[in-house]
Amino acid sequence: MALDRVLKGGRLLDGTGAPARVADVGLRGARIAAVGSALSAPDVIDCAGHVVCPGFIDTHSHSDVKVLADPRLPMKVRQGITLEVFGQDGISVAPVRPEERAAWKQKLSGLLGDFGVEWDWSSVGEYLARVARGEPGPDVAYLVPHGAIRQCVLGGGDRRADAGALSAMQDLLRASLGQGACGLSTGLIYPPCCYADTEELIALGRVLAEVSRPLVVHMRSESDRILEALDEMIRVARESGCPVHISHLKVAGRENWPRAGEVTRRLEEARRAGLRLTADQYPYVAGSTLLGAILPPWAHDGGTEATLARLADPEARRRLKAMM
| Separation CA 32–CA 43 (nearest Å) | 14
pLDDT tens per residue across span 112-154: 999 999 999 999 999 999 999 999 999 999 999 999 999 999 9
If pLDDT is split at 50, 70 and 90, which confidence band does 310 have?
Answer: very high
Alpha-carbon distance of 116 to 102, in angstroms, equals 12
What domains lie within the chain, and their CATH numbers? 5-52 (2.30.40.10), 56-289 (3.20.20.140)
1: pLDDT strictly greater than 80: no
pTM of the model: 0.90
pLDDT digits (tens, 9 = 90+) for 11-32: 999 989 999 999 999 999 989 9
Contacts of 299 (CB under 8 A, 6+ apart): 307, 310, 316, 320
Q: Say what the pLDDT of residue 24 is.
A: 97
Q: Where are the alpha helices (DSSP H) in 70-182?
A: 74-77, 101-112, 124-133, 146-154, 163-178
- Rounded to 10 degrees, what is the CA torsion of 235, 240, 246, 251? -10
User: What local confidence, expressed as pLDDT, does residue 265 receive?
Assistant: 98
**pLDDT score, position 137:** 97
